[in-house]
Structure 1
Amino acid sequence: MDFNFTEEQDMVRDGLSRMVREAYGWETRSEVIASEAGWRPEIWAQLAELGILGMPFSEEVGGFGGGAVDSMIVMEEFGKGLVVEPFVPTVVCAGGFLKHAGTEAQREEHLSAIIDGSRVFAFAYAEPRGRYNFADLETTAKKDGDGYTLNGHKAVVIGAPWASHLVVTARTGGDRRDKEGVSVFIVDKSANGVVTRDYETVDGRRASEVYFENVSVPADALIGEEGGALPLIELVTDEAIAAQCAEACGAMKVAHGMTVEYSRQRKQFGVPIGSFQVLQHRMVDMYTAYEQSVSLSYLATLKLDASEQERKRTVSAAKVGVGQAARYIGQDAVQIHGGNGVTDEYAIGHYFKRLTVFDSEFGNVDHHMKRHIALS
């Protein structure tokens, strides 16, 4: 299997790495996440200008003809800088739904706006009692003339405070938890009846509780087949998991590097703590866990085009392995930093927070362990 990147991909990685270093210095990021907005629209516009938002899409819709590997490259660099801009909700999730199942009119309207940065999406799928079952839905979409009426509550919708549109999962038929009867809609966040409560997440991003109170949407808001969207949701979320595994790898690499550097500077008993053999062993183990995670991330990305069973099994294996490594590296990094590791003034605590939250997105280690076993 060829793990070499193309010349164009190497150029993108180098350019994006430079941009993240320059635009996401630690002090700058701290100011951004503490601001009222919590993000920088000018950075989003810059990503659009550089073509980053259009990389995974075909040239026919105005993209650059890339795919999941390109998203992986972008997310790994974003992980290094703890970038908060909503690439996964907008490009990977919303773009994925449109790419796989959108009509020509939907792609023409929304994909072009995603690529040029003028439209930001959030993926509203989680519900307070749904855990990680995408079919466990209390949000409903009932036929109303030529369109639908949505009612329900979506929880922890990442990026919703910045979004102009939402991709919403809702039940159009069947009973709660039925695999049939699940549908996906595009909803304008400014539509009558959409109510949001915005807040900051523990890892510095922004999210919303989103309530739908008799929200009317037209028939062309439906993405894909009515009542048969569960396989589509699982495909898109697997792509999102692969992208976030790459992000976690980027964050783990920086967390490990920070820890090694700190161990060389921090002195105890008159010598650097990095000279203690027990800490050397722990940092070697951290590096091993990181390298294994990179391999799992690559494999998950390359298997997104495989059969449904193989894709799910591989993605779940990656989510388990990377999730375990993220927690291990984050915890050890904080412990080696000592009291400094739990202060807001030191960056390492924020990497730990992001790596911890990673485990809970789109299914935690326990959930994906069960899914992997069921598919084996």
Structure 2
Amino acid sequence: MAQTTSNHTQNVSGWAAHDSSGKITPYNFKRRENGINDVTIKILYCGICHTDIHHVKNDWGITMYPVVPGHEITGIITKVGGNVTNLKVGDRAGVGCLAASCLNCEYCKEGEENYCDQLQFTYNGIFWDGSITYGGYSEFIVADYRYVVRVPENLAMDAAAPLLCAGITVYSPLKDNNLLDSPGPGPGKRIGIVGLGGLGHIAVKFGKAFGHHVTVISTSPSKEKEARDRLGADDFILSTNADQMQLKRRTLDFILDTVSAQHSLGPTLDLLKVKGTLVIVGAPEKPMDLPSFPLIFGKRAVKGSIIGGIKETQDMMDVCGKYNITCDIEVVNISQINEALDRLGKNDVKYRFVIDVAGKPSGL
């Protein structure tokens, strides 16, 4: 493993954390030359994901400093390699969490490279050449074309950026559970979304676009108005209200749990009909409580899911183009990154921060 190789000759201005304080400061580094399978992308916007906080503060004990975060990247292609036929200079492009995989295992061959044992991420990963990957808090990125998607022309590039992580994270389990197609006349499935944050608000938008009855499940009474009025949710359950939870027992076909705080799954499982499915996409640092009775007395299933493969991500972007779905965002400039990370840690954003990377350069 090396920070760079002899092929890393391009100077890049970026922004990195250098220790577990997590403070982001300007950082100049080198990227590889554009190879035959690469595209170079001028970064316009980069979303801020909660994963960025974990990495800059080394919460998971895996950070390789200095770390340049960012895996919700949108920009314009400025160079393409000789083997690249599906992308061209001037295209609107997106890069999500994936930078490399083995390309040969059963998962890679089936379009599920996000489950490859050799998966490497857009930042804090080890690329095929042995170099450390650096993410989207930077002026441009060189990416293998097999991990790049096109951004539909009708989607705003800033509001589309978080789709590369948050969007695909909630889209994939909906697809896996046959919830993508609008059922046509009459009601669709009854689906529940636990948590109304960066992931949850996109899940609500997808659920409504696909014709389903959507219920938001939250610990915050204040979320009801925004769930119903802002996002069009059909129902709201205050999960701390025992009467509401009892009233809604066995009413939902499917639940997507987006919460990253530790919580018990038992009460949520009781909301499912017999044979219902609960999918977890949130990642609490400590194990969640999973009682057996709600499972065995309801023949219910609990599953997990993480992002999606590139083909699936492109499909998701195209669906967003079709239904004009984007994230609700707050755009910040470079000088506001640390403030945004602090606020995100306090859940003080509706619903995703996006950095205007191509704005006027600013010190931190």
Q: Which has the higher helix share?
A: 1
TM-score (norm 1): 0.26
Structure number with greater CO (CA < 8 Å, separation at least 6) is: 2
Q: Which has the higher strand share?
A: 2
